[in-house]
Chain A
Amino acid sequence: MTDLGPSQAATTHWRGDQPVHGRGETVCVIGAGASGLVAVKNLREQGFAVDCFERETGVGGAWNWRHTRSPVYGSTHLISSKSVTQFPDFPMPDSWPDYPHHSRLLQYLERYADHFGLREHVWFGTEVTRVEPAEGGYWDVTTRGGRGALDRTQRYAAVVVATGHNWSPKMPEYEGLADYRGEVIHASAYKDAAQLRGRKVLVVGGGNTGCDLAVEAAQQATMCWHSTRRGYWYAPKYVYGRPADQVNDLARALRLPLRLRQWLFHRVLRRTVGDLTRFGLRKPDHRIYETHPIVNSQLVYYIGHGGIVPVGDLARFERHSVELATGELIEPDLVVLATGYQPRFDFLAPQLLGAQADGRPRLYMHAFARPYPTLFVAGMLQPDSGLLPLVHWQTVAMARWLRLRESAPQRAAQLWTSLVGGPDRRWTKAAVKDSTRHWFEIDHVLYLRALQKTLKALEPAA
């Protein structure tokens, strides 16, 4: 662990009657999942001292599938292929398959932490309970846990929030749900196929979780209904014998415009998977990329086997049955709500992240808090590719930004105004469907292109 340096240990500030230990120019990173780890590494690489707080006892965040707060279930395999998922400066081994199992992701993040010596900067079992602005752009960070178990407040030069946005369940409301006698769980509580065996299961939600779970139920349960409130495009994992996202990136390398890519992808899907209404699925009410991409080669296959019965939206729950919007009654033993997750930052006043009543954070590039040049959120993105490369470059930009702020404050201030001054923009050209799940939907190429520009602007003057 980094010790308090002698000069820093001496500085104690006060917030009311509470002492605040000054940590000098040290940067605080909250969370040691993929996003937190890469933030620690890239800040260290730029020469910053870093304290990282992690409430669990290990690194890896979501990929610790046994953790109660992990959204990952036993059978999860990546949906983004290796080459677009790995950190750009730390590749996954060539011997791994295109779409590794979740246990390998954890192994990968643990190796990343060891390789770059990151663990010594992480305080495990320590939860951040409060982050408040202090004068001069500094932040007072209150933590709980660790051995002393007393709350402790320390002052940092900057804070990178990397607490993930896929762990707090988004619960839908239904009439009659409270009196329903069957079991109802959110997908976050689903871990293992044993939970499905011998039961009649209703899966609600057509995101990647819902589709994975429907397939798993087709394999394990006695019966599976899959309820979605719209029709979707189901992209296979492979097209032309190559990972679908790599083919997509080839189209990006060729700079094909969105409309053409949509047309091409529709055509490929129509020619290979065919007309899904024949299977009882609804026609998509949108073009591909207008909802977060679903990557699942097996869903349609299991509908073909009769293992999955696709149904529409739910109307209400009765004591022993569920009524569909069509009026039909079904009687599942288990209802799994795969309705997604919502961002949650209990330790921060919502307005610090520009959030209004709807709770949606509004940041420049989903990462930079406009009024606070020393407050960042890393990894709050929903990309059409792997997340890790995007967070890598986000955190490189944060580190370089902090450096520039220190070495050339005037230039930094000008740059900040020009960067964050503009109106909110969406980082995708697709007309994405209005749903809370698309708050952070981005097109990885557009987003990286913007980051590339930002990094260029952050280069120290020659």
Chain B
Amino acid sequence: MSTRILRPLEWAYPPRPVRREVRYARPDTDGSRPPVLFVPGFGHGAWIFTEHWLEHTAGRGFPAYALSLRGHGKSGSAPRTTLRSYAHDVVQVAASLPRQAVLVGHGAGALVVARALARYPARAAVLVAPVLGGVRMAFSVLAGNPAGTLPALFGAGLRPSRRQLFSRELPIRVGRGYASRLGRASTLAQWQLLAPGRLEDPVGNPPVLVVGSPQDRIVPLVALNRAARQYGGAPLLFPGMGHDLMLDARWPEPIDAILDWLDKG
């Protein structure tokens, strides 16, 4: 439980404000359930959640929000961004919600959420197919998709392939459509994935759930297990799905499990 309280550099240089895209779906009735904020990973925007998960979450009584990190989706451009500014985006949106929020991060968005947890006492957090970075993970991604990964070392955007993102159950045409909408994170932030540094402990001690698929070709099972262990649990697994669980053919299963977990807690 180490707590860092002196941050003079951050006080001296607060991240630059940018326009932020926030999409939402509200439940019909105003219940007592906490708001859920979805955070997409690198290259993805809020749209990945508006496809299915946002409405579904609201349908189950949770006010649901999704944001696009700066430089993604319809948020303002930010070429020199680092992970700190991405985490800042998440905390800004979370603190703007009427009540203490649950943070759900996907892919590298889970790393952003993990960092945001040190700056905002979330009610709970869910890391979906978390890309927490590190050299080990970089190698496995490189091996799986050299053409989409190698150029990133020289400043190009990471280009995950359709096969990495979706299972065979998703019609190829649909998968291609999604893949064509992908953008990219800043070069600096991509570099940070190689050496993300030690994560600070979450504030307020929120429960953290890790969700993923053993067939995810970006985040292998060992990485899911490692991530879950870091937060003192085991991952919740959805066999047969690709990395983008919220877009894949069987998208309702993971989100229902996540919401069940929240309802129980």
Query: Which A residues form the contact surface with B (CB < 8 A)?
Result: 45, 82-84, 88-91, 93-95, 114-117, 242, 245-247, 249-250, 252-253, 385, 389, 393, 396, 445, 448-449, 451-452, 455-456, 459-460
| Cβ-based interface call for B10 (8 A) | yes
CB nearest to B18 among chain A residues: A94
Given A88-B119, A117-B99, A385-B11, 14 other A-B contacts at CB below 8 A?
A83-B14, A90-B120, A93-B92, A93-B95, A95-B17, A115-B100, A242-B12, A246-B13, A246-B14, A250-B13, A445-B8, A449-B6, A452-B6, A456-B2
- CB pair B8–A393 under 8 Å, yes or no, is no
Within 8 A of A (CB), among B121-176: 121
Docked pose: A459 CA to B7 CA in angstroms: 20
**A34 CB to nearest B CB, Å:** 16
- Cα–Cα distance between A89 and B5 once the two chains are bound (Å): 11
Question: Please, which residues of chain A bring their CB within 8 A of the CB of B5?
Answer: 88, 389, 393, 448, 451-452, 455
* Majority DSSP secondary structure for residues of B touching A: loop
Report Cα–Cα, A88/B116, bound state, in Å: 12
Decide if B95 touches A115 in the complex (CB within 8 Å): yes
Q: How far is the CA of A93 from the CA of B9 in the complex (A)?
A: 19
Q: Which residues of B are found within 8 Å of A250, using beta-carbon distances?
A: 8-9, 12-13
Determine if A45 and B96 form an interchain contact, defined as CB atoms under 8 angstroms apart: no
A94 touches B1 (CB 8 A): no
Contacts A90-B120, A393-B5, A448-B5: A83 and B10 contacting too (C-beta < 8 A)? Answer: yes
Is B78 located at the chain interface by the 8 A CB criterion? no
Quote the shortest CB–CB distance from B230 to chain A (angstroms): 16
A20 to B12, CA, bound (A): 50
A115 and B97 contact, Cβ closer than 8 Å, known pairs A89-B203, A93-B92 = yes
Distance in angstroms from A118 CB to nearest chain B CB is 11
Residues of A within 8 Å of B205, CB to CB, are 45
- Does B91 touch A at the CB level, under 8 Å? yes
Verify A83–B11 contact, CB threshold 8 A: yes
CB-defined A-B contacts under 8 Å, sample of 20: A45-B204, A45-B205, A83-B11, A88-B5, A89-B121, A90-B95, A91-B91, A91-B92, A91-B95, A115-B97, A117-B99, A249-B12, A253-B9, A253-B12, A389-B5, A449-B6, A452-B3, A452-B5, A452-B6, A459-B1
4 A-B pairs closest in CB distance: A94-B17, A253-B8, A250-B12, A83-B14
Q: Which residue of A lies closest to B6 (CB)?
A: A448
Q: Is A114 in contact with B17, judged by CB distance below 8 angstroms?
A: no
Indicate if B98 sits at the interface (CB-CB under 8 A).
yes
List B residues 5-41 near A (Cβ within 8 Å). Answer: 5-14, 17-18
Please name all residues of chain A whose beta carbon is closer than 8 Å to the beta carbon of B12 when the two chains form the complex: 83, 242, 246-247, 249-250, 253
Using an 8 Å CB-CB cutoff, how does the interface string of B107-126 with A read, 1 for contact, 0 for none?
00000000000011100000
Instruction: Please tell me if the beta carbons of A93 and B14 are within 8 angstroms of each other in the complex.
Output: no
What's the minimum C-beta distance from B149 to chain A, rounded to whole angstroms? 33
- Given A82-B14, A95-B17, A445-B8, A89–B99 Cβ distance below 8 Å? no
Q: Are A252 and B119 in contact (CB under 8 A)?
A: no
B6: chain A residues within 8 A (beta carbon): 445, 448-449, 452
Determine the distance from Cα of A247 to Cα of B98 in the docked complex, in whole angstroms.
33
Q: Do B121 and A246 have beta carbons less than 8 Å apart?
A: no
B1 contacts A396, CB within 8 Å?
Answer: no
Q: Name the residue on B nearest A45 (C-beta).
A: B204
Instruction: Collect the chain A residues with CB atoms within 8 Å of residue B92's CB.
Output: 91, 93-94
Q: Are B99 and A115 in contact, CB atoms less than 8 angstroms apart?
A: yes
Which residues in A have their C-beta under 8 angstroms from that of B1? 459-460
Contacts of A93 in B (CB 8 A): 92, 95-96
Nearest CB on A from B115, distance (A): 13
Q: In this complex, what residue of B is CB-closest to A390? A: B5
Measured in the bound complex, the distance between the Cα atoms of B88 and A45 in whole Å is 22
Instruction: Tell me whether A249 and B3 are in contact in the complex, defined as CB-CB below 8 angstroms, given that A94-B17, A115-B100 are known contacts.
Output: no
Residues of A within 8 A of B4 (CB): 452
Is B119's CB under 8 angstroms from A89's CB? Answer: yes
Residues from chain B with Cβ under 8 Å of A91 in the complex: 88, 91-92, 95, 119
Docked-complex contact A117 and B100, CB < 8 angstroms: yes
CB distance from B225 to the nearest CB of A (A): 23
> For residue B203, which residues in chain A have a CB less than 8 angstroms away from its CB?
89
Say which residue of B3, B10, B121 sits within 8 Å of A455 (CB atoms).
B3
| Chain B residues closer than 8 Å to A114, beta-carbon distance | 98-99
Which of A83, A385, A445 has the most chain B CB atoms inside 10 A of its CB? A83
Give the distance to chain A from B161, nearest Cβ to Cβ, in Å.
35
Pick the most buried of A117, A247, A249: most chain B CB atoms within 10 A of its CB: A249
**CB atoms of A252 and B8 under 8 A apart:** yes
Question: Which residues of chain B come closer than 8 Å to A88, judged between CB atoms?
Answer: 5, 7, 119
Q: How far is the CB of A98 from chain B (nearest CB, A)?
A: 9
B-side contacts of A246, CB under 8 Å: 11-14
A79 to chain B, nearest CB (A): 15
Bound form: Cα–Cα A95–B95 in Å: 13
Residues of B within 8 Å of A84, CB to CB, are 11
Q: Which residue, B1, B2, B12, has most C-beta atoms of chain A within 10 A?
A: B12
What are the residues of chain A within 8 A of B18 when measuring CB–CB? 94
Cβ-closest chain A residue relative to B97: A115
Contact residues in B for A460 (Cβ distance below 8 Å): 1
Q: How far is the CA of A451 from the CA of B100 in the complex (A)?
A: 26
Are A89 and B120 within 8 A (Cβ)?
yes
**How far is it, in angstroms, between the C-alpha of A329 and the C-alpha of B229 when the chains are bound?**
78
Q: Is the CB of B9 within 8 A of A115?
A: no
Which residues of chain B are within 8 angstroms of A389 by Cβ–Cβ distance? 5
Asked if B3 and A396 sit within 8 Å, CB to CB, the answer is yes
Q: A243 to nearest B CB, angstroms?
A: 9
**Assembled-state Cα–Cα distance A449/B98 (Å):** 33
Tell me how far the C-beta of A376 lies from the nearest C-beta in chain B, rounded to whole angstroms: 18
Q: Which residue of A lies closest to B91 (CB)?
A: A91
Contacts of B98 in A (CB 8 A): 114-115
Name the residue among B3, B18, B88, B91 with the largest chain A CB count within 10 angstroms: B3
CA distance A460 to B9 in the complex (A): 29
Contacts of A116 in B (CB 8 A): 100, 121
Which residues does chain B contribute within 8 Å of A396, judged by CB atoms?
3
Chain A min CB distance to B256 (Å): 27
Nearest CB of A to B67, in Å? 13
| A94–B22 CA distance with the chains assembled, in angstroms | 14
Residues A89 and B204 in contact, CB atoms below 8 Å apart: yes
* Contact partners of B97 in chain A: CB under 8 A: 115
Residues in A with CB closer than 8 Å to B95 are: 90-91, 93, 115
Distance in Å: Cβ of B24 to nearest Cβ of chain A: 16
User: Which of A82, A84, A89, A117 is most buried by chain B, counting CB atoms within 10 A of its CB?
Assistant: A89
